Amino acid sequence: MNSSAFKDTLLLVVFATAILTMPIWLKPFGAAYPDLMQRFAIYGLFAIGFNILFGLTGYLSFGHAAFLGVGSYAAVWSFKLLTMNVLPAVFFGVIVAGFFAYLIGFISLRRSGIYFSILTLAFAQMCYNLAYSVLTPITNGETGLQLTLDDPRVLDAQAAAGSIPGTTLFGIPMTGITGFYFCAVVLIIGFFISMRIFNSPFGMMLKAIKSNQNRMSYTGFNTRPYLIWAFVISGMYAGLAGSLLAVTDPLAGAERMQWTASGEVVLMTILGGAGTLVGPFLGAGLIKYFENIFSSFNEQILHEAFAALPDGLENALVGLTSLFVGEGWHLTLGLLFMVIVIFLPGGIMEGVRRIGSLFTRSGSKAKSESSTAPEAR
Amino acid sequence: MDNVVFHVADVHKSFAGLHALSDIDLSVTEGETHAIIGPNGAGKSTLLNVCIGRLKPDSGSVVFDGNTLTGKKPHEINQLGVVRVFQTPEIFPDLTLLENVMVPCLAKRDGSFKLNWFKSFRGEKSIRDHAVETLVDVGLESQVGSHASNLSRGDKRRLELAMGLAQKPKLLLLDEPTAGMARHDTNATIDLLKRIKATGMTKVIIEHDMHVVFSLADRISVLAGGRIIAQGTPDEVKGNPKVVEAYLGEEQV
């Protein structure tokens, strides 16, 4: 038991180190700029939270982007009305998203399986459309909610007139690399909480619900509050991610709530490995990397890359590969997703585990307690 | 009759006009092991499903320890101390054996819902020890750490039994606890159930195997065509001509 506690601490330390040193080791990949690293951290959080619902209970929500959007709106309103300090914004983002998650979860969790998924999808689309139309006074509709010069900001001292202030953490501006470090710290805290939930009795109950929900009720558990809490917690993670999006760039638009955004977090989680701790973060990172790096490649870059080849071959190769980059990055992602789902149904983490077991088998035959749920890693 | 803890009163249940159960009246006293026997389709499983809240009777009531069970939800019935062991193993296939048994222990300790998300599941020492003990009792100690989906059918039944026993129920409802087991496993299970009987746990057993019934039961109810046709001690039932006609005649006990 002690060894597993040690493993958890080790995992947390390795994770935290990897996150905080991202500006260094992401350089060779061309991804070490703050804007993208913030995205890694924010969408990583989104996926980690989504995984608490989907990975542990098996309930597949297609509406989590709604909570992301709600979190963003709440955060921007906090910037507009209260203060440019990010902590209240994050707090309100989480709380308001949690409240929405409770309402939507309360109704959607009356059903399971595909019906649950459809209900969450319907609710999310409703939120999206409302944000676009009826709720324009709150969401500023199509234009998106932005900071303006005449926002009250009752808690802030009179700032320099004539300019819109930036977000701060007690005076430290949340732009560029500091913004990234703020997101990184929140991500590490979020990861720690998710780890505690995975290892807790509560988390075990969620796993048991996934394994055999019917049995749970005959074992004396009321599964409904368990599911509602899992839904609310994952909704709060989404709200947290949404508020961080507003922290790094204080505006909120309805397009954040669109169903494609809900679908994206499902892809991230499955790609990385649903039900694993680190997987969803890896999936989120990979997808955001593809979205930002692959999409920026154009024919020019490809021609340079293949310049050493004879002209005919160069043109053919460029023609072929250009399908997969730039606008076509979705194609690469789609292929990658298919390959992983077909050959590694457990996502990237299953690949890691297979490689890991290859090493332990060929190395010393130290069979460390395989009993303690290997899928929890 | 002294100290009736479990009472099925005048229960009727029909499915689309077919009378699955009619006029069922059954009293079980504290500490008694009551067997329900009957040919296939007699309504034994239906009766158990009514007791556990899986089915709602058309009329009549089921009372345990002063609480009416009819209309209650399955988890509420379990929390009252009425635990059912299923015939087709209802286990958690993705969890280890230890986790499979620890989960019901937590239901017993923490009630039907508790949001203890910050504690460590593996750190639940007393629950863990109790779960291991129970697994030893049913003879699964060698497989504590393996996944439940890897078990043989007979072992799944034993795990199912362990999950029920771990909750230290006040009333244990057993649905053919030895079906699908090899002979020596059956004997081991009988021994285990005898030991449990010595602790004074009240049990209702549905069983096909007459060897099991006669080695465990204090009293027997014979169900045929959805009615109780005989009730009494094993000896009384054995000699009852109605029973012989309906059931025992073909089994040659």
pLDDT band at A159 (very low <50, low <70, confident <90, very high): low
pLDDT, averaged in runs of 10, over chain B (253 residues): 84 87 91 89 86 87 91 92 89 95 94 90 92 93 92 89 94 87 85 89 89 90 88 87 69 46
* Dihedral (CA of B176, B177, B180, B186) sign: negative
- What confidence score (pLDDT) does residue B247 get? 63
Cα distance from B118 to chain A (closest Cα, Å)?
6
Q: Write out pLDDT tens, residues A272-292.
A: 999 999 999 999 999 999 888
Alpha helices, DSSP H only, in chain B?
44-52, 74-79, 97-110, 125-137, 153-165, 183-198, 210-216, 234-239, 241-243, 249-251
- Tally Cβ neighbours within 10 Å of residue A363: 8
Q: How would you label B210-248 residue by residue, b for 16+ Cβ within 10 Å and e otherwise?
A: bebbbebbebbbbbbebebbbbeebeebbebeebbebbb
Per-residue pLDDT band at A175 (split at 50, 70, 90) = confident
pLDDT at A162: 67
Give the per-residue pLDDT at A157. Answer: 67
ipTM rounded to 2 decimals:
0.90
Most confident of A106-115, A168-177, A342-351, B49-58: A106-115
How far apart are the C-alpha atoms of B93 and A265, rounded to whole Å? 27
Contacts of B99 in chain A (CB under 8 A): 204, 207-208, 373
**Closest CA–CA distance from residue B85 to any residue of chain A (Å):** 9
Residue in A with minimal Cα distance to B90: A215
> Any idea what the Cα angle at residue A156 is, between residues A152 and A157, rounded to 5°?
110
Residue A238: predicted pLDDT: 97
What's the whole-number average pLDDT of chain A? 89
Beta bridge partners of residue B63, listed in sequence order? B7, B68
Q: Is A231 on the interface with B (CB under 8 A)?
A: no
Q: What is the pLDDT of residue B92?
A: 95
Provide the pLDDT for residue A108. Answer: 96
Residue of A42, A45, A93 whose CA lies nearest to A292: A42
For residue A73, pLDDT beyond 50: yes
Residue in the structure block whose two tokens are 């932005």: A146
Reading the block at residue A130, the tokens are 């409302």
**How close A7 comes to chain B (CA, Å)?**
13
Query: Which strand (E) or helix (H) includes residue A128?
Result: helix A113-132
Top mean-pLDDT range of A121-125, A252-256, A341-345: A121-125
Domain residue ranges in chain A? 2-275
Q: Which positions ≥6 away from B113 have C-beta within 8 Å?
A: A221, A222, A225, A226
Across the interface, whether the CB atoms of B107 and A214 are under 8 A apart is answered no
Higher-pLDDT residue of A238, A254? A238
Give the per-residue pLDDT at A206: 96
Mutate to test the interface with B, among A8, A221, A223, A233 (most CBs of B within 10 A): A221
Structure tokens at A173: 């501006």
Q: Which residues of B touch A212 (CB under 8 A)?
A: 90-93
Give the max Cα distance, chain B. Answer: 62
A2 falls in which pLDDT band (50, 70, 90)?
A: low
**Long-range CB contact pairs, B12-16, < 8 A, 24+:** B12/B57, B12/B58, B12/B59, B12/B60, B13/B43, B13/B46, B13/B50, B13/B55, B13/B57, B13/B58, B14/B58
- Look up residue B179 and give its two tokens: 């079906």
Q: Residue B173: beta bridge partners? A: B84, B204
**Lowest mean pLDDT segment, chosen from A62-66, A365-369, B244-248:** A365-369
Cβ B218 vs Cβ B34: under 8 Å: yes
- What are the chain A neighbours of B119 within 8 Å (beta carbons)? 200-201
B252 to chain A, closest Cα gap in Å: 36
Closest-CA residue to B64 (of B34, B19, B104, B108): B34
Q: Apex CA A287: angle with CA A285 and CA A289, to 5°?
A: 65
What is the per-residue pLDDT for B127? 94
A208 closest CA partner among B15, B179, B93: B93
User: Chain B contacts of A229, Cβ < 8 Å?
Assistant: 115
- Using CB atoms and an 8 Å cut-off, which of residues 196-215 of chain A contact chain B? 196-197, 199-205, 207-208, 210-212, 214-215
Confidence category of residue A370, pLDDT binned at 50, 70, 90: very low
Write out the two tokens for B45: 């499983």
Q: pLDDT per residue over A9-34, tens digit each?
A: 999 999 999 999 999 999 988 888 99
B2: which 2 tokens? 């002294």
CB-CB neighbours of A338 under 10 Å:
10
Confidence of residue A240 (pLDDT cuts 50, 70, 90): very high
pLDDT (mean) for A32-50: 95
pLDDT in tens, A287-307: 999 888 888 877 777 777 777
Q: What's the token pair of residue A217? A: 């009720």
